[in-house]
Chain A
């Protein structure tokens, strides 16, 4: 909103030249983060009380750790707050006409809606195992992934000439020019993997949100670089005009996430639920694709990858196929708990690891 108003004003007269401020990405990012934090702070308490009143509570799956059963009864679906905060601050500060913003918002809303349906179903049936079926979720996720892949490789793609290039971190030039079909398949798998791995990581108080904050921060910085002609030239990045808007989106997410963490820190007063984890996963996936940094995710989001892999190996190969546990427990955070680390300690340690991974990912800005 302010972007449009500011633009109108300073173009109208020199008297309003200070309104140029609203044109700067740095300023708008900070403002977006702050407004998201404020939004979440203001809304959280009444929202938590509302959830308590409506009896919208987490239906924990009992996996034999004492803390898990004691979490039963914490309100869930805090993801609604995060999404609300992001949309609110983007409404204020983003350029509404930017396709980058629209893609990310669409992903957030679509996956948020899916998570919402899943959460609601779990609450209605009073069981953590009786959400949407795995197949229904996959179909719903696939629909978005395919449409998005089709849009991004098509003629109206916001990435223009770069749309089919495939970049690797720490490599200066695109390593391959992919066929659209191949690229869509790749995107499909990528988006599915990212959203689900964020979902799997959401198991301890504050874990998913802190690790996502680091990834979103990294993506925001990459967006700033790629949307800036000078920096992109200097760092040998493809110049994608308008991608700076993603910095604002990322900043809004970081702001909303920080606000949410305030209430989500151990012991949590609210969980993000599938609503939040899928929405954040969808946003991270779309932003990575729009910034041509798909392969950065395994580095920046290494924690998510580890969580997803341990969980899948344990479940699909260990428990279902060969009939034994391959790890003590899965996913990773439960394994650490089982080894005797208290929950807050696990969260802090894993957050430190995601911070280190984020730094490594950032170093690929210059080392290429």
Chain B
């Protein structure tokens, strides 16, 4: 034990001395100060860092810079072009706590990467570190924090957060940073100690593009055509790329008027190769379209002169990451945004909605579907995208008003503010104080799925006839909730799929009926031990029951629905069978008199579960067409359970209402055989009822 402590102490002293000695030597040699830049993984982290770099380099031309990154990520493509020294370390994304093996791997890689960085820092003696987040920068930040906190060595740590909701890394390490710069004032609430509201730094070159006259972007656009610039960030977005290629056939008729510039992105992972995938898809287009494709479509993996492309674009179709949004806003371009969902705090959606509310953009939500190979992918329908693009292009006044609104969204001097704060701590303190005052605003949060479900179900139960989700939420929100609901439908956990089914029903998302029907009829068994506990199929009983309920709420009926109901009415789970009988009541005007349904309902009269028998008896009242229905219902006259007898009477009542049978003395005589006593009653709380009456007359809600 003592040896261990001695060894650690010795190492500590040695490390400290090494750092100091190297530092002194460097100082003596008079080398200019070094700034470490860390941040990457995607362009969204790299560009703001480059903007900050430009500003530092402008003010301190003698400074040296070292960019820390990971091979084959966005920074390895972008940074070398800027003439910054790029140095690689090791890092992988934080996998969460679920799988201990992957977590251990993550920790080991992080440790190795941090050690490498720490040694580099010891040798190079950086003045400070600027990071824009992204897991790539984790080792550098860890090394800097450890050197500072444990070895008491002075390295400035400055973080920049681009999004409304901070990433895990910035959120965790923000507490040890000198300053955390934030792009949205709402984000200040996450960093009350050391946050400074600076805005999002946009590269000077992109900004300058505006002031320059019509610059040749190396893309020859035929004169008089509307230019649509479609891109999904530096890595490319699969959804956007595929949607665009799918949209080409619909845009083809307008090829004389529009020109599409497509940034496919640099992604080259196993999962998705942007260039290859896009080319594959293009090659599958009609020959006729392919022949003329070049006249209205141009694609490139990545635009280094993105400002020039923005400049000539009349409409931008993009993701709603903070970086893209700020570039669009800086240049004042109307945009069609396709937010990526499932990100922390849904920040892309929140960003996009902010733009939309300001009148600067339109939003198109992704949809989800299951590929034939079982994978679940997001997609945007090509026709939807094409029509959205065309609609916008046909309305120049809308486009120009969107452009004006976009421009007002931009805060120009973020990079200057950031470098001011780094250089002059007193200024940082002032700005921090003023930023804290702004932070009263909280991040606009969207209701959770459970909350949405609750609101909708309350609304539905109040008046099922006129129910409409648009009465509860904005049409925008309904679109977005539909998207979220659909994502849930494909979740591996049944509990979440169940919520998805309910939401799809209440949101009247009729496009997804086929998926709902698949859930009703899916017969994939669950594992053996779950079956021993009473489980049956992968789409569990609750999901099947709620699917049928959703069909009723959506009020959708066709041959497929009928077929699914036919299967559901023989389901092994009683609640599904009884819900199917209820669905028969609901769709009775389409089913009445069909022999096979009468047959099915009659079969249900012998169901082992009384609940199903009750529902079947009521259903018989809805679909029976002659005296046989009455005969069948009269067989329940002596049933031991009063609920069944009651349901049978309700059925007969319904038959009378529908004038299937006529009221006559004979019927009364036959009904005489009914046992009319009951083991249950509904209590009357006269006091409460009167109270409620008074309260409802007063027009306030009743809350005793």
Q: Give the interface of A toward B (CB within 8 A).
A: 66-67, 70, 72-73, 267, 317-326, 328, 337, 339-342, 345
Contact between A322 and B683 (Cβ–Cβ < 8 Å)?
no
If A322-B526, A325-B541 touch, whether A267 touches B610 (CB-CB below 8 Å) is no
State the interface size on chain B (CB cutoff 8 A): 29
Chain B contacts for A267, CB-based, 8 A: 683
Contact between A323 and B535 (Cβ–Cβ < 8 Å)?
yes
Chain A contacts for B680, CB-based, 8 A: 337, 340-342, 345
Contact between B679 and A321 (Cβ–Cβ < 8 Å)?
no
Contact between B641 and A339 (Cβ–Cβ < 8 Å)?
yes
Contact between B540 and A322 (Cβ–Cβ < 8 Å)?
yes
In the complex, chain B residues 599-639 whose Cβ is within 8 Å of any chain A Cβ: 610-611
A325 and B541 CA atoms in complex are apart in Å by 8
How many Å from the CB of A117 to the closest CB on chain B? 25
If A317-B533, A318-B534, A325-B541 touch, whether A342 touches B679 (CB-CB below 8 Å) is yes
If A70-B688, A340-B643 touch, whether A322 touches B679 (CB-CB below 8 Å) is no
How many Å from the CB of B432 to the closest CB on chain A? 37
| B683 touches which of A70, A319, A323 (Cβ 8 Å) | A70
In the complex, chain B residues 518-545 whose Cβ is within 8 Å of any chain A Cβ: 526, 530, 533-536, 540-543
A-B pairs with lowest CB-CB distance, top 3: A323-B540, A324-B541, A322-B535
How many Å from the CB of B536 to the closest CB on chain A? 8
In the complex, chain B residues 276-295 whose Cβ is within 8 Å of any chain A Cβ: none
Chain A contacts for B685, CB-based, 8 A: 70
A168 and B117 CA atoms in complex are apart in Å by 68
A321 and B531 CA atoms in complex are apart in Å by 11
| A324 touches which of B540, B641, B643 (Cβ 8 Å) | B540
Chain B contacts for A324, CB-based, 8 A: 534-536, 540-542, 573, 575
Looking at B494, B535, B643, the one whose CB has the most chain A CB atoms below 10 A away is: B535
A70 and B536 CA atoms in complex are apart in Å by 37
Contact between A322 and B533 (Cβ–Cβ < 8 Å)?
yes
If A267-B683, A339-B641, A342-B679 touch, whether A322 touches B575 (CB-CB below 8 Å) is no
Contact between A345 and B534 (Cβ–Cβ < 8 Å)?
no
A70 and B689 CA atoms in complex are apart in Å by 10
| 18 further interface pairs, Cβ-Cβ under 8 Å (given A322-B530, A324-B540, A340-B680) | A66-B682, A67-B683, A70-B688, A72-B704, A73-B688, A73-B704, A321-B530, A321-B535, A322-B534, A323-B498, A323-B540, A323-B543, A324-B534, A326-B534, A337-B680, A339-B610, A340-B641, A341-B679
Chain B contacts for A326, CB-based, 8 A: 534
Chain B contacts for A70, CB-based, 8 A: 683, 685, 688
Chain A contacts for B704, CB-based, 8 A: 72-73
Q: Give the interface of B toward A (CB within 8 A).
A: 494-495, 498, 526, 530, 533-536, 540-543, 573, 575, 610-611, 641-643, 678-683, 685, 688, 704
A252 and B681 CA atoms in complex are apart in Å by 36
Chain A contacts for B541, CB-based, 8 A: 322-325
Contact between B494 and A323 (Cβ–Cβ < 8 Å)?
yes
A284 and B682 CA atoms in complex are apart in Å by 35
Chain A contacts for B575, CB-based, 8 A: 324-325
Which residue of B has the minimal Cβ distance to A71?
B685
Contact between A323 and B642 (Cβ–Cβ < 8 Å)?
no
How many Å from the CB of A79 to the closest CB on chain B? 23
The 19 sampled A-B contact pairs (Cβ below 8 Å) are A70-B688, A73-B688, A73-B704, A267-B683, A318-B534, A321-B530, A322-B536, A322-B541, A323-B494, A323-B498, A324-B534, A324-B536, A324-B541, A328-B611, A340-B642, A340-B643, A341-B679, A342-B679, A342-B681
A177 and B678 CA atoms in complex are apart in Å by 54
A317 and B495 CA atoms in complex are apart in Å by 13
How many Å from the CB of A249 to the closest CB on chain B? 37
Chain B contacts for A322, CB-based, 8 A: 526, 530, 533-536, 540-541
Which residue of A has the minimal Cβ distance to B643?
A340
Chain A contacts for B688, CB-based, 8 A: 70, 73
Contact between B678 and A340 (Cβ–Cβ < 8 Å)?
yes
Looking at A267, A319, A325, A341, the one whose CB has the most chain B CB atoms below 10 A away is: A325
Chain B contacts for A325, CB-based, 8 A: 541, 575
Chain B contacts for A67, CB-based, 8 A: 683
Which residue of B has the minimal Cβ distance to A267?
B683
A328 and B613 CA atoms in complex are apart in Å by 14
A319 and B543 CA atoms in complex are apart in Å by 11
Chain B contacts for A317, CB-based, 8 A: 533-534
A341 and B677 CA atoms in complex are apart in Å by 12
A340 and B680 CA atoms in complex are apart in Å by 6
A339 and B679 CA atoms in complex are apart in Å by 10
How many Å from the CB of A124 to the closest CB on chain B? 16
If A322-B534, A324-B575 touch, whether A345 touches B679 (CB-CB below 8 Å) is yes
Chain A contacts for B681, CB-based, 8 A: 342
Chain B contacts for A340, CB-based, 8 A: 641-643, 678-680
Which residue of A has the minimal Cβ distance to B530?
A322
Which residue of B has the minimal Cβ distance to A72?
B704
Which residue of B has the minimal Cβ distance to A317?
B533
A73 and B683 CA atoms in complex are apart in Å by 16
